[in-house]
Amino acid sequence: MLSAPFVSKNWICATENFDDANWVMVGIPYDGTCSYRPGTRFGPELIRLASWGLESYSPVLDKDFQYVNFFDAGELDLPFGNRDKTLDIIKNTAKEVYAANKKWFGIGGEHLVTLPAMQACFEKYKDIAVLHFDAHADLRDDYMGEKLSHATVIRRVSDFVGMENIIQVGIRSGPKSEFDLIKKYNTLAKGINDFSKKLEKIKNRPVYLTIDLDVLDPSIFSGTGTPEPGGLSFADLLNYLKEMTGLNIVGIDVVELSPHYDLSGVSAVVAAKLIRELLLLFN
């Protein structure tokens, strides 16, 4: 055996054993429908790299990441030019995770990767509720004629989950038609108190949490394809997540890091730290 230390390719603190894990982390390096600036295909590998700069202890949560039981499956090898086949591969992988009675933790990639994962989740949990953090509503019925796009993903999710089962946080950009839908179904939390009230209604149900990282303000998260000023701070976002303590979270994804738009590399670190806190909160 060689005695020098080697750096694992996997996430820091990930368990080696799939069978023992509660959560399965899957990198999904897909950015085929990005409407403005592509690059999210590089998100998962740079987040994984950034994870090695994290401490395993979170002072805010007073918990240590070493005791979180998650398996890092690595990155899916996807046929980039073929959207439908890509979505099939993601869905089948998520189905395997749910069939093994584990929870899905997807790392994008663009936001469309949420759709097949949530379809797989919905096949197992019919009464799923969805928590959606994003700067954008993603409620368009089509984007330039395309029904399947990162700009339509939550609308497609609503097709089977129902608009009344979606709670949104941080939405601050979109056409009036999207905001009319938001008002009609009262999906958008107006601050943290309203968020808590909305959570009351779903506290006994399985929940899928999808976080588009552009919900954060571009001043702390510039590495994304469609940045929107006026977003949450990291502390704001954590406060929302802490409100969710005790919920039955059965799936999570964190999407839309496009690391090369942030030359400082800070955005990948922000994403990695957020993922650590999510796993600590919902382990």
Question: What pairing do the DSSP bridges indicate for beta strands 63-64 and 57-58?
Answer: antiparallel
Nearer to Mn ion, 108 or 206 (CB): 108
Number of residues that bind Mn ion (CB under 5 A): 5
Is residue 31 close enough to count as binding Mn ion by CB under 5 A?
no
Nearer to Mn ion, 91 or 136 (CB): 136
Distance CA 27, CA 126 (A): 25
Nearer to Mn ion, 68 or 107 (CB): 107
Q: Beta-carbon neighbour count of residue 251 at 10 Å?
A: 27
Nearest distance in Å: CB 106, Mn ion:
15
User: How is the chain split among helix, strand and coil, in percent rounded to 5?
Assistant: 40, 20, 40
Q: Which stretch binds Mn ion (CB under 5 A): 46-54, 89-97, 133-141, 175-183?
A: 133-141
Candidate list 75, 110, 134, 253; residue touching Mn ion; CB under 5 A: 134
Position 236: which residue type?
Answer: D
**Smallest Cα–Cα separation from 274: which of 249, 260, 259, 253?**
253
Nearest distance in Å: CB 188, Mn ion:
14
Nearer to Mn ion, 172 or 205 (CB): 172
Cis preceding linkage at 109, omega within 30: yes
Which residues within the stretch 197-226 sit at the binding site for Mn ion (CB under 5 A)? 212, 214
Nearest distance in Å: CB 31, Mn ion:
13
Token digits of residue 253: 């994804």
* Number of Cα atoms under 13 Å in the Cβ half of residue 23: 27
Nearer to Mn ion, 89 or 255 (CB): 255
Chain contacts with Mn ion (rule: CB under 5 A): 134-136, 212, 214
